[in-house]
Amino acid sequence: MSRFCVSLSQMKRKFFTSLLLLLLFVKCTTPAAYKNDDSAMLYDYNLSPFENAEKQYSQSLKAELAAVGYSHTDQIGRLFLRAFKTEKKLEVWIEKPDAAGTLLFKEYDFAGFSGTLGPKRKEGDRQIPEGVYHIDRFNPHSKFHLSLGLNYPNKSDRILGHPTAPGSDIFLHGNTQTVGCIPITDLKIRELYLLSTFAKESGQQQIPVYIFPFKMTDEKLNAHKTSPHFPFWKNLKTVYDKTKPQNIFPEKPDIDHAGNYL
């Protein structure tokens, strides 16, 4: 009887050891691009990231767009994105069907952050840019799941930044890792990527993306008077003040020879 109990105990230990090793194997072999994804159990690895985006979000986005007056995804109003580094928020505004202003449609949290407050000025400084940009490319094969490229450096960045190496390749993307980009997790980039695709198919050639250091109220700006970035932020606030997305779709500002937004 004693020998039988010892044998049974050994079998139990072997079973739980094997189970633990199996769980560790599954965890370690899960693709890195999806480890941060809180919908990983719903992810179909037989499909591409974009196909998964369509599978997961097509119906829900169509319903949400219909609720604000758009019954066809190839006929939606223009999108406008605002990002705030201090608040770590990315807002998605959509033009109302009657073009009488815009409404806040989505809001995403930054899933990672690099650098400090202040504009990006050179390659390798880890800074998230600040200024007026637009989405200039869609990358369905990104190593960060899916990504939307920004036209950094813009004219202002080229004037005020490093003369030969201001940096490049700034994206809104999945995952949680970043060196100067804005990650919002794989789950959320699928939704934003698909929504941006709808806007593109509706004829929007450029989706504006304005990146601010913080919500630029007079009080918050004045709290940074001693910052070396204050002159730049004071100029950028003129863009922020003209950006009233709930009232009118923003017009892209001009940039003068000194790199100032007009």
- Structural domain contains residue 262: no
- Structural domain contains residue 196: yes
- Structural domain contains residue 18: no
Residue carrying structure tokens 């490319």: 137
Q: Give this prediction's pTM.
A: 0.85
pLDDT digits (tens, 9 = 90+) for 208-245: 999 999 999 999 999 999 999 999 999 999 999 988 76
pLDDT digits (tens, 9 = 90+) for 119-144: 999 999 999 999 999 999 999 999 99
Query: Any idea of the CA torsion for 68, 69, 75, 81, to the nearest 10 degrees?
Result: -20
Tell me which residue range forms the domain holding 119.
41-242
CATH code, domain with 211: 2.40.440.10
- Structural domain contains residue 250: no
- Structural domain contains residue 166: yes
- Structural domain contains residue 3: no
The number of folded domains in the chain is: 1
Q: Look at residue 109 in the predicted model and tell me its pLDDT.
A: 98
- Structural domain contains residue 249: no
- Structural domain contains residue 254: no
DSSP H helices in the chain: 2-29, 49-67, 155-160, 185-201, 218-222, 230-242
Q: Look at residue 114 in the predicted model and tell me its pLDDT.
A: 97
